Structure 1
């Protein structure tokens, strides 16, 4: 039996997702030129720094950390709502990592189709944008309706390092919460 090797952890998660089909990723600006590059980089840098600082705050004062976390979520929600009107993201269950994702979709996409993807990570409403290619498409045998007819697998490409850091931290934190929940459930059933 061959052991599977992955570069990043994968988790099952609920995310808000929108994407645009593009003909050639080489011609697409990575971030749609909607936000000034310096502002975007500064925001992502602040988000990463905030996540690191919140670890210490949470250890010293869980109540204060909760309030600060809620404030950050509110700010991120306001920021992401600027893009919601044009993108109309859809909440989806997804299997996600820092290098790709799988999710169900209503339409069959072509393998190697280029996409610009917006992910809104929950519950913090953090926006991650990336280029991607459709790596695989298959019929979804578990589909209960047309909205989940196909299983789409994407490979992320040329992701900005700050976006990738936000996504990695999200995956690691979500995985930690899932493991703690599983452990608590096992202890309570004993």
Structure 2
């Protein structure tokens, strides 16, 4: 596949969107901070890169685990337990390091190019945000910047989050974007499978 076709494929995957639940923290920042590359501190970058690397290793390990399971099912079960323990440790580290809280988990619509979510305050079109996301189902952390493209009254009757905001990601690290693309595609396929199973049962 040539570079042009590869770029088109990446663009198409970037537009895949899913409804999901993430642990989300954001704050308004100055436009200059958001548009200057490499503003994040080294610690944040290192932690996020570690999170992304762990997710990629986990995806590779799942393929190997499937092969091990065929010949050594007991070993495969043991490896799953070890993997679960590592996930719990990673979850604890990331929750502490980024000050995530359970009550910050909210429903979002997300793609590799942006995110939409209900929020508690009125934001203006053009506002710049620092965004920290914990993808709950994969325990991956992404820290990036975003620009508000709209903010309107939420259609959901929720006194805690009366506004609905759409944000385009900017200056996201390439490896985090690739990880998010894979996450969205995987989640979308799972949702399709779940819907088919539900339809077959009904």
| Length-normalised TM-score, structure 2 | 0.77
Question: Does the Cα contact within 8 Å between 1:14 and 1:122 map onto a contact in 2?
Answer: yes
* 2:20 pairs with 1:13: yes
What residue number does 1:185 align with?
A: 198
Question: Does the Cα contact within 8 Å between 1:54 and 1:65 map onto a contact in 2?
Answer: no
RMSD: 2.6
Question: Does the Cα contact within 8 Å between 2:146 and 2:169 map onto a contact in 1?
Answer: yes
The structure that is helix-richer by fraction is 2
Provide the secondary structure at the position in 2 that maps to 1:82.
helix
Deviations 1:75-101 (A, max 9, x none): 32022122343x557111000001101
The count of residues paired between Structure 1 and Structure 2 equals: 182
Question: Does the Cα contact within 8 Å between 2:151 and 2:166 map onto a contact in 1?
Answer: yes
* 2:55 pairs with 1:47: yes
Could you tell me how far 1:177 is from its partner in structure 2? 1.5
What residue number does 1:107 align with?
A: 121
Q: What are the residue-to-residue correspondences of 1:158-169 with 2, within 5 Å?
A: 158-169=171-182
Structure of larger gyration radius: 2
**In structure 1, which of residues 132, 148, 156 is the aligned counterpart of residue 169 of structure 2?**
156
**Structure 2: which 5+ residue stretches go unaligned?**
1-11, 70-75
Question: Structure 2: how far apart are the matches of 1:119 and 1:153?
Answer: 15
| Displacement over 6 Å in runs of 4+ | none
Cα gap change, 1:81 to 1:137, in 2 (>3 Å): same
Question: Structure 1: how far apart are the matches of 2:197 and 2:27?
Answer: 40
Could you tell me how far 1:159 is from its partner in structure 2? 0.5
Provide the secondary structure at the position in 2 that maps to 1:137.
strand
**Structure 1: which 5+ residue stretches go unaligned?**
none
Question: Structure 2: how far apart are the matches of 1:66 and 1:151?
Answer: 39
What residue number does 2:94 align with?
A: 80
Question: Structure 2: how far apart are the matches of 1:99 and 1:113?
Answer: 17
Question: Does the Cα contact within 8 Å between 2:152 and 2:163 map onto a contact in 1?
Answer: yes
